[in-house]
Amino acid sequence: MPLAPGLARLRPGRREYPQTPSVPQYRVAATVLFALVGAVFGSWAARIPDVAAALAADPSTLGLALLCISLGALASMQLTGALCARYGAGLVSSVAAVLASSTLVLPGLSSSAIELGVALVLFGAATGTANVAANAVGVQVERAAGRPMLPSLHAGFSFGGLAGAAVGGLVASTVPTAVHLTGVGVVGLVVTAAIAPTLRARDVEQQVAGADPADGPRGARGTVLLLGVIAGCTAFGEGAVTDWGALHLRESLGAPTAVAAAGYAGFSLAMACGRLAGNRLLRTVGATRLVGGGAVLATAGALAVATVPLVEVVIAGFVLVGLGLANVFPVAIARAGTLAGSAGVALASTVGYTGLLGGPPLLGIVADAVGLHVAFLIVAALVAVGAVFAGHVGPAPSRTGYARRLVAPAGAMARLATTRLGHAARGHGNSLADLGAALAERTDVRRPHPGLEPLAA
């Protein structure tokens, strides 16, 4: 009895796929997916102060509510790996994007702290699933293209988050929170409907070809866990700068608000620019030297933040941290996906997210006891782990000039930061305050809560 047309396409050995998207089309769809997840979370982050004000929530109550995002995400991440292996990363990421867009409105409709906590558990579970599934899609893009792709996809997340936060800041004084978040959710649903067929078509091809090594080779779990530790140390550093960077500049060093905003803005822009250059750097110097050089650069930046009490040096340190950490997380996740497929992506992401969850509270305790400048020494120590274990993220390319290329990532990213931040400052005067104002125009001063950003991350 002949199979139905839809089932016939899934018959083992048959390789005829209707309108299978090309690799460039697949890459565009994946980039849009990453940007969408970033924009959804950035939009929520921009309205956190408004939600807190509407509920008259004190800092401790708000902190507990925000922790619900992390709990929801942690609960969903390991399940996501199994779902991607069973149904395909494209289908799971599309459904998760729909859920993330739909649950985005719930915090704006909450009338009590308990309702907000429940809403954020659901939102965290949806966005956590979307992050893991998006990374699994990114690994499939790399597999289809035969070259590094995940860093540039993470750049899409970074720019999406910046755009979401910027728009949220612009409309905060004129548009009610629920209306704004509903509008973003509707746009998210439309965008998801546009990219889902492309993502799902590649899923069909992956399932027929059996291309996702969901269980991975024996012994890979230990390496995947180590990759998760590397990602977690990176996420710890990102969360530290996100939550405490501007506060350190303003309260420890007495910087004005505009200048304090330049610290986080510079960090965010440097990370986004570093990820844009990540694909080329991976092809040029290899994963091992990119992660090792980036970790060294980020460690130097964190040490500058911790030890030099000068505003200019601290801001430069944040830029170095952003550049150095830009590609560590995506490279670690890509390696986990290579070793163990969707399950590896989920495991490494969950371990990495644990570092992000525990980092900012730990730094808060240390800061209360000995000051923020000492707390950033912990960041430097943990980020250095990436340099120590860089050999586990992939083999270095067998080319000549090893010693010269060993430091190439740090030099290339530093030159990139100088160029991009120079463009941002041009036309806005020469003073540090003017630069801070220029960067604040491009990035909303309200920093996102360190929940999901590095995991798309």
Name the domain boundary from 194, 212, 230. Answer: 212
- The per-residue b/e assignment along 352-386, b for 16 or more CB within 10 angstroms, e otherwise, is bbbbbbebbeebbebbeeeebbebbbbbbebbbbb
**Predicted local distance difference test score (pLDDT) of residue 69:** 86
The residue type found at 212 is: D
List the pLDDT tens digit at each of the 457 positions of the chain.
444 444 344 444 444 444 667 888 999 999 999 999 989 988 988 888 888 889 988 767 877 887 888 889 888 987 888 898 889 999 999 999 999 999 999 999 999 999 999 999 999 999 989 998 998 899 889 888 888 888 889 899 889 888 888 888 888 889 999 999 999 999 999 999 999 999 988 765 554 444 444 445 555 788 888 898 898 888 888 878 877 787 788 878 888 867 777 777 788 889 889 999 988 898 888 888 898 999 999 999 999 999 999 999 999 999 999 999 999 988 998 888 888 877 888 888 888 877 776 677 677 777 777 887 888 899 899 988 878 887 777 654 444 443 344 444 555 555 555 555 555 445 545 554 554 554 444 444 444 444 444 444 4
**Predicted local distance difference test score (pLDDT) of residue 305:** 92
Count other Cβ atoms within 10 Å, centred on residue 289: 25
Is 130 a member of any domain? yes
**Predicted local distance difference test score (pLDDT) of residue 405:** 43
205 and 122 housed in the same domain: yes
Is 5 a member of any domain? no
Is 107 a member of any domain? yes
Name the domain boundary from 165, 183, 212. Answer: 212
3-state secondary structure of 27: helix
What is the domain count for the chain? 2
Count other Cβ atoms within 10 Å, centred on residue 404: 10
193 and 279 housed in the same domain: no
Residue 47 structural domain: 22-212
288 and 403 housed in the same domain: yes
**Predicted local distance difference test score (pLDDT) of residue 234:** 87
**Predicted local distance difference test score (pLDDT) of residue 19:** 61
Is 372 a member of any domain? yes
* CA distance linking residue 332 with residue 393, whole number of Å: 6
CA-based max dimension of the chain: 78
193 and 237 housed in the same domain: no
371 and 395 housed in the same domain: yes
206 and 226 housed in the same domain: no
219 and 201 housed in the same domain: no
284 and 367 housed in the same domain: yes
Is 30 a member of any domain? yes
Name the domain boundary from 212, 229, 252. Answer: 212
3-state secondary structure of 211: coil
383 and 420 housed in the same domain: yes
Q: Determine the distance from the C-alpha atom of residue 143 to the mean position of all C-alpha atoms in its chain, rounded to a whole number.
A: 20
Is 79 a member of any domain? yes
Nearest to 241 by CA among 128, 376, 132, 65: 376
200 and 245 housed in the same domain: no
238 and 333 housed in the same domain: yes
The CATH number given to whatever domain includes residue 343 is: 1.20.1250.20
**Predicted local distance difference test score (pLDDT) of residue 349:** 83
Is 7 a member of any domain? no
Evaluate whether 52 touches 62 at the Cβ level (below 8 Å). Answer: yes
389 and 401 housed in the same domain: yes
Is 126 a member of any domain? yes
Which string of DSSP letters, residue by residue, matches 59-116?
HHHHHHHHHHHHHHHHHHHHHHHHHHHHH-HHHHHHHHHHHHHHHTTHHHH--SHHHH
- The per-residue b/e assignment along 194-222, b for 16 or more CB within 10 angstroms, e otherwise, is ebbebbbbbbbbbbbeeebbeebeeebbe
